[in-house]
């Protein structure tokens, strides 16, 4: 009979096994670990509140590092600077306007606070469109919000329409001479160098958006102008099917009849449940690293779709970057509540657009601004207080069998798999198929209790860091911070040593007085800056020199596993990809030697010899649909029945929407509810609280 053992899986993806001689001792240790991690009861019992930082950390005062006034002044917005069409509002100074937004908000100058008050009820959790970034060259902007509460009747709000319209016209490209930067900082008159580097898929995405940006004659509905032009864009990070299901639940997406000044694009980025399950599969492939010398299970890595999700997030961010940096257009980003996928897309686009955010100082400001102040729910997504469901006991069923990666090791008796650490991300369940469907409606209120809700835990911030790693790997001289900086930041997301990531919003952090009672995580990094600085960093920005342009774009074919964060070697996780890339590059080199080498400016990333990561199609795009007031274009043209959204004012409105949803195979329960609502005029049967949580 094998001795009992306890397996601990940590948040930094290290795996530890403790072997015991006596079952009673093992049980006592198991219960002790479980009690000390699951029964703290409150965030204030975490290590951050008793941690005493070293002297050099105390001198940093990271809590004061981010100043929103200073950051937006850097972007050119201040009462003392010429009006760029934006102003600072104090409407949320006490967090009563929106308790998940920061106190410091920037809105269009022409929009009064009174308009904001009437607009807020139209956006989920009152998260109205507000400014987060303005481009220093063309003055185009990134604004962010939550989904509109349009519902099945396609409800509208004039004040919201005015707010979005004002955001898109606050400052048109090519402003006054005063705002024109020195010649050395300007972009080329045309963006030919950047455009030449685009892949076929990226050109396809831009063409799809540009087609929908045509100007129409209001009387005839015919196209008046077709071609390359400014195309202000609303980005809905969700698949279009998901947004439709949300619409049935009283939320949804913009009615583009009311936003004729913009094009709306739907992305196919999965919800928090999809991402949690994906990382769960990655951990299954890696879980025996402490007891087996074998490489990770590559089949499980492939089945996880983790690289596919990284591809989609980077692709969506690049679409936004090209809209602003190349097409000189404004972009509004939202998902459901506007604090998960919205933060990912907004922050990554800013890294691609602005060299400042590729410095250590700028990256800290970016995390503070687009993640912490805009209310990414770090406590909810991280599960700092643990959960008893993550502790399991398994009997020995495979004693003496050979250990295979990704399988039960068979060496434990009564106790195995204390699933702390990385396992907190994951909650294997029977409704896995449902999590990959369109259902992602959120509950009606934010979870206020501090107890961990397993199905609300998800690696959203981890994905952002992974995407940033991909950009660093592909642009090794363009970032001041190095890979270790990102890896250590992920570690401290879960270490609970600092107060930065313990709460869900700026308001909660102020209520808990974390700046007085804990240390900032930035203290740790700022006093060790040399350790996290890239020695090859070149801050030079010159748009006339290839490789030194202001804008960087990801090569989606070069996406690789962030092997360091998983504690594995590059060969173990990327060996097959790297070998295939080397072989293909050799083949292309041979072909080039026979045909003559093309000029550098003729080489695009579409001709890259690097093979696609597992699970990615050659033309896989995150873009699923483009919608305007005049038409809806899907990337695959499969759902022609939904070319135009059904108007709620028509005589057969509910039938039209139901038939459209039916063609998308969304689910019988939703469609049957819709049918009953049409027949009886009654409200759609509400979901239970548990169902609503699963549909986030």
Compute the distance between CA of residue 496 and CA of residue 519 in angstroms, rounded to an integer. 11
* pLDDT interval class at 171 (50, 70, 90): low
Cα diameter, the chain: 85
Which residues, 6 or more positions from 675, have their beta carbon under 8 angstroms from its beta carbon?
658
- Residue ranges for the known binding site are 271-272, 335-341
Sign of CA dihedral 203, 206, 211, 216: negative
Q: So what's the pLDDT on residue 664?
A: 45
Annotated catalytic residue, options 38, 98, 335, 527: 335
User: Tokens 């900086």 correspond to what residue?
Assistant: 485
- CB of 142 closer than 8 Å to CB of 156: no
How would residue 424 be classed by pLDDT, with cut points 50, 70 and 90? very low
Q: Residue 91, CB half-sphere, CA atoms under 13 Å: how many?
A: 23
pLDDT band with cut points at 50, 70 and 90 for residue 87: very high
**Overall size of the chain counted in residues:** 696
> Rounded CA gap, 426 and 614, in Å?
23
pLDDT for residue 40: 85
Residue pair 288/403 in contact by the 8 Å Cβ criterion = yes
Q: How many whole angstroms separate alpha carbon 43 and alpha carbon 475? A: 39
Tokens of 424: 């907190």
Q: What is the pLDDT of residue 436?
A: 39
Query: Which distant-in-sequence residues (6+ apart) come within 8 Å of 378 by Cβ?
Result: 371, 372, 461, 493, 501, 502, 503, 504
Residue 78 buriedness (CB in 10 A; 0-12 / 13-18 / 19+): middle
**Residue for token digits 């896989």?**
620
pLDDT band at residue 622 under the 50/70/90 scheme: confident
Residues 84-99 have a mean pLDDT of 97
573 pLDDT higher than 70: yes
Q: Going by C-beta distance under 8 Å and a sequence separation of 6 or more, which residues neighbour residue 226? A: 211, 214
User: Which pLDDT score, from 0 to 100, does residue 393 have?
Assistant: 83
Cα separation of 17 and 289, whole Å? 10
Is 462's pLDDT higher than 90? Answer: yes
If pLDDT is split at 50, 70 and 90, which confidence band does 213 have?
A: low
Whole-structure pTM value: 0.81
The residue to which tokens 């295939």 are assigned = 580
Helix H or strand E segment including 168: helix 158-169
pLDDT bin (cut points 50, 70, 90) of residue 211 is low
Neighbours of 478 (CB within 10 A): 22
Three-state SS sequence of 620-639: CCCEEEEECCCCEEECCCCC
Q: With H, G, I as helix, E, B as strand and everything else as coil, classify residue 9.
A: strand
Q: What pLDDT does 91 receive?
A: 98
Q: Are strands 86-89 and 105-108 parallel, antiparallel or unpaired?
A: antiparallel
CB 261 within 8 A of CB 278: no
Rounded alpha-carbon distances, angstroms, from residue 383 to 361, 420, 434, 455, 563: 28, 11, 22, 10, 24
Q: Is 335 a catalytic residue?
A: yes
Average pLDDT of every residue of the chain: 80
Give me the long-range contacts of 87-96 (CB less than 8 A, separation at least 24). Answer: 89/113, 89/116, 91/116, 91/117, 95/506, 95/507
Cα dihedral value 383, 384, 389, 394, nearest 10 = 120
**Residue where the block lists tokens 């990337």:** 635
| Contact of 132 with 369, CB cutoff 8 Å | yes
Rounded to whole angstroms, how far apart are CA atoms 639 and 624? 11
Can you state the angle between helices 460-474 and 306-325, rounded to 10 degrees? Answer: 70
- Taking 50 as the threshold, does the pLDDT of residue 271 lie above it? yes
Report the binding-site residues for substrate. 271-272, 335-341
**E strand intervals along 268-339:** 331-334
Neighbours of 146 (CB within 10 A): 26
Q: What are the residues whose beta carbons fall under 8 Å from the beta carbon of 216, sequence distance 6 or more?
A: 222, 223, 224, 629, 630
Q: What is the pLDDT of residues 384-405, one digit of tens each?
A: 998 888 888 876 433 333 334 4
- Please classify residue 55 by burial: count the beta carbons closer than 10 Å to its beta carbon, then call 0-12 exposed, 13-18 middle and 19+ buried: exposed
In DSSP terms, 230 is beta-bridged to none
């Amino acid at each position: 009979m094998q001795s009992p053992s306890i397996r601990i899986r940590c948040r930094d993806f290290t795996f530890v096994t403790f072997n015991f001689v006596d079952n009673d001792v093992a049980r006592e240790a198991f219960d002790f670990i479980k009690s000390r991690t699951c029964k703290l009861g409150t965030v204030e019992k975490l290590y951050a509140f008793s941690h005493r930082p070293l002297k050099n950390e105390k001198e940093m005062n990271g809590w004061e590092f981010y100043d929103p006034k200073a950051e937006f002044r850097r972007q050119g917005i201040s009462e003392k600077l010429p009006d760029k069409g934006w102003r600072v509002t104090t409407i949320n100074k006490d967090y009563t306007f929106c308790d998940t937004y920061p106190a410091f908000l920037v809105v269009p100058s022409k929009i009064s606070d009174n308009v904001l008050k009437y607009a807020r009820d139209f956006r989920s959790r009152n998260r109205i469109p507000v400014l987060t970034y303005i481009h220093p060259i063309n003055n185009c902007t990134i604004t962010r919000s939550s989904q509109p509460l349009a519902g099945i009747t396609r409800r509208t709000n004039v004040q919201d329409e005015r707010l979005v319209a004002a955001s898109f016209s606050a400052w048109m490209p090519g402003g006054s001479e005063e705002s024109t930067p020195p010649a050395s900082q300007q972009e080329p008159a045309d963006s030919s160098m950047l455009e030449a580097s685009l892949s076929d898929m990226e050109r396809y995405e831009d063409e799809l958006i540009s087609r929908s940006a045509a100007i129409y004659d209001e009387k005839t509905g015919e196209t008046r102008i077709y071609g390359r032009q400014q195309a202000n864009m609303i980005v809905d990070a969700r698949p279009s099917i998901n947004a439709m299901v949300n619409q049935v639940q009283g939320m949804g997406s913009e009615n583009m009849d009311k936003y004729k000044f913009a094009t709306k694009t739907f992305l196919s980025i999965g919800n928090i449940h999809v991402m949690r399950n994906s990382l769960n599969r990655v951990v299954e492939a890696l879980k025996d690293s402490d007891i087996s010398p074998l490489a990770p299970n590559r089949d499980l890595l492939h089945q996880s779709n983790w690289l596919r999700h990284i591809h989609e997030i980077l692709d969506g961010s690049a679409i936004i970057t090209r809209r602003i940096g190349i097409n000189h257009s404004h972009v509004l980003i939202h998902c459901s509540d506007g604090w998960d996928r919205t933060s990912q897309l907004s922050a990554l686009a800013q890294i691609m657009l602005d060299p400042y955010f590729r410095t250590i100082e700028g990256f800290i400001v970016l995390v503070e601004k687009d993640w912490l102040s805009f209310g990414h729910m770090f406590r909810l997504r991280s599960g700092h207080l643990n959960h008893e469901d993550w502790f399991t006991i398994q009997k020995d069923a495979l004693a003496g069998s050979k250990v295979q990666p990704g399988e039960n090791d068979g060496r434990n008796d009564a106790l195995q798999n204390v699933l702390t650490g990385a396992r907190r991300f994951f909650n294997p369940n029977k409704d896995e198929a449902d999590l990959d469907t369109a259902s992602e409606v959120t509950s009606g209120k934010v979870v206020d209790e501090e107890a961990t809700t397993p199905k609300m835990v998800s690696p959203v911030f981890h994905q952002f860091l992974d995407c940033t790693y991909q950009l660093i790997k592909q642009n090794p001289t363009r970032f001041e911070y190095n890979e270790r900086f990102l890896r250590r930041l992920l570690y401290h997301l879960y270490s609970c040593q600092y107060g930065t990531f313990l709460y869900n919003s700026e308001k909660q952090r102020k209520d808990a007085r974390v700046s007085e009672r804990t240390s900032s995580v930035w203290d740790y990094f700022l006093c060790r800056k040399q350790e996290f600085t890239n020695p090859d960093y070149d801050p030079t920005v010159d748009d006339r020199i290839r490789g030194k342009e202001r804008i960087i774009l990801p090569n989606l074919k070069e996406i690789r596993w962030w092997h360091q964060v998983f504690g594995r070697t590059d060969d173990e996780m990327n060996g097959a990809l790297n070998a295939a890339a080397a072989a293909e590059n050799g083949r292309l080199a041979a072909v080039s030697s026979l045909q003559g080498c093309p000029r550098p400016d003729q080489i695009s990333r579409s001709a890259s010899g690097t093979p696609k990561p597992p699970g990615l199609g050659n033309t896989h795009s995150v873009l699923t649909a483009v919608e305007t007031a005049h038409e809806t274009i899907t990337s695959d043209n499969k759902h022609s029945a939904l070319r135009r959204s059904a108007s709620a004012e028509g005589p057969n409105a509910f039938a039209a929407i139901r038939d459209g949803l039916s063609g998308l195979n969304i689910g019988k329960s939703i469609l049957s509810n819709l049918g009953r609502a049409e027949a009886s005029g009654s409200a759609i049967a509400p979901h239970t609280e548990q169902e609503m949580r699963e549909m986030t």
